[in-house]
Amino acid sequence: MPTVSQRYGSRRFAVPAAGSRAHTHADELRAPVVLMVSGGADSTALVLLACTGALDIDDGRGVARIARERLHVLHINHHLRGAASDADEVFVRDLCAGLGLPLCVEHAHFTEINGQNLEAAAREARYAAARRYVRELSEEAGTPRSAARILTAHTASDRAETFFMNAIKGSGAAGLSSIPRRRNIIVRPLLDHTHAELVRYLEVAGQPWREDESNQDTSYLRNFVRHRIMPLATERNENVAKAVSAACDLLGDEDAFMSQLAATALRSCTRRSQAGLIVLDATRLAASEVAIARRMIRVAVKQLAPDARLEMRHVEAVLACVARGEGSLTLPEGIDARMEFGTLSLRTPTARETLPVGWLAVPGSMTLSAGMRLSAALLRVPAGADPVELARNAEPGAVYVDAAALGYAERDLGRMLEGNPGKDGIPAEARSARLWVDAPEAGDMLCPLGMQGRSKKLSDLLNEAQIPLAERAATPVVRTGPGGAIVWVAGIRLDDRFKCTASTRVLVKLLFRPVRGA
């Protein structure tokens, strides 16, 4: 990541007293408007237009003048072109001084970009600086950050170039819709103008600008498109930039609509969702229209890793696994996509669905991952009741365990049941009763209920229960103690050694269910 140092000149920011209030129309008329200015023709034209003309900053007022006191300029010196970068800074300083606009200059130093290309790292540095500047200006003005605007100088020419760049790289509809007119508080009011139109505007105004000689290097894809492809396209249509920009608006609107449909479909298809994991119903996914299914994959991956850049080949490979009903692959950002037991699980490499490991008091409860709770209660078998029948009729998500089989002597159980409750409602004597809860471990064995005492590997049991690999680490295993015998694989199977019998007198009720409100 680039390191950035700030320099604000003589400006100082005062933070108002804490407090909040509703976003009003008056806030919109006072909120700061930050112009991102490099010194090139487009951004220089943006400054002049903001000062002398009318712009649509997408605040609901349409094309209108911006109050001069709202305008602030941000310049980033990337130090990538030596003396030329410093000359750009001097130019922007002189421009703002001549126009009487407050200026913030930040310096970015690219010591480590973690595999990013330099253009992407520089763009990230610019927008990060703009967000910081807006936050500070909004605090000074006492207006909500959402009322502020960051204006960039992207034009119809930039938009057309980005369209062709993304087409060359094989982007989908989102990429072909190119540069949006607005993304959150970032607005691009010059998208209806071409670069050539802005250059003519500056020439008429007698306003110079800075040229970046690196813009001539066609080894960069954007420059290749600008100097090789755009001139050829212009031979067939002299207004190609505006024509492509209009197409981008249409594609953007349709992409937004399709994305809403995909998001709705994704919610109905999601069987489980938590930090680092999304599990989808593969049958529903496969039954969806392919255009929606593709977007569902993209949306799900974006939820897990916002920076992941999926290509069409990645999406198609995932859907191929869904169609086969099996298979796995690794997606960008290390996301594991795995198809098994009728589900598609998407999981980040760093997220581990581990359970809180520790003791479960009897009685007591513990909250687990994914909004689930495991609780234990101590109950006496009612006089005349059949404990085996009680166990058979246990509510969903619950099992009854023979307390004596856990090693508790009946006299101790009596003290637990009859002891005086403490402040938390648990008798002091009951605090010695507890079970250990953790996750499945390699080599785990149990004697599943119904198998007449025969043992079975826990991994085989989970496989028969069709628990996907991605979810197995989140399956609670209740044991007699750390490394002890398995009592219950929560929600799946009780161990036969701890079942209720006709001689059972005291029960431990184990219940595994969602936390209310989770």
**In contact, 458 and 489? CB cutoff 8 Å:** yes
pLDDT at site 10? 33
Place of tokens 């020439």: 203
pLDDT at site 147? 92
Those residues with Cβ within 8 angstroms of residue 99's Cβ, 6 or more apart along the chain or in another chain: 47, 51
Place of tokens 């943006």: 46
pLDDT at site 428? 46
Helix (H) or strand (E) run with residue 359 in it = strand 358-361
Nearest 5°: phi and psi at 208?
-75, 170
Q: In angstroms, how far is CA 369 from the centroid of its own chain?
A: 18
End-to-end CA distance of the chain: 37
Q: Are strands 186-187 and 182-183 parallel, antiparallel or unpaired?
A: antiparallel
b/e code 300-316 from CB counts within 10 Å (16+ = b) = bbeebbeebebeeebbe
* Nearest of 9, 131, 13, 149 to residue 70 by alpha carbon: 149
C-alpha angle 476/271/171, rounded to 5°? 125
Q: What is the pLDDT of residues 350-404, one digit of tens each?
A: 764 455 667 888 888 988 866 789 999 988 899 899 999 999 999 999 999 999 9
pLDDT at site 8? 42
Task: Write the Ramachandran bin of 282: left for phi over 0, alpha for psi from -120 to 50, otherwise beta.
Answer: alpha
Is the previous residue joined to 363 through a cis bond, with omega within 30 degrees of 0?
Answer: yes
Instruction: For residue 421, list its beta bridge partners.
Output: 427
pTM over 0.75: no
How many Å apart are CA 199 and CA 447, to the nearest integer? 80
How many other C-beta atoms lie within 10 A of the C-beta of residue 53? Answer: 12
Identity at 110, one-letter amino acid code: F
Listed as ranges, residues in the chain with pLDDT below 70 are 1-25, 27, 111-116, 274, 351-357, 369-370, 409-432, 516-518
pLDDT at site 68? 92
Q: What is the pLDDT of residues 268-307, one digit of tens each?
A: 999 877 678 788 999 999 999 999 999 999 999 999 998 8
How many Å apart are CA 93 and CA 110, to the nearest integer? 23
Tokens (6 digits) for 483: 């490394």
Tokens (6 digits) for 27: 């806030």
Tokens (6 digits) for 18: 């804490």
Beta sheet of 493-494, edge-to-edge order: 358-361, 434-438, 477-479, 486-489, 493-494
Domains of the chain, each with CATH number or no CATH:
3-240 (3.40.50.620), 275-347 (3.30.465.60), 358-514 (3.50.40)
| CB neighbour class for 12 (10 Å; exposed up to 12, middle 13-18, buried from 19) | exposed
pLDDT at site 21? 47
DSSP per-residue letters across 11-31: ----PPPS------HHHHHHS
Q: Are strands 103-109 and 71-77 parallel, antiparallel or unpaired?
A: parallel
How many Å apart are CA 428 and CA 213, to the nearest integer? 80
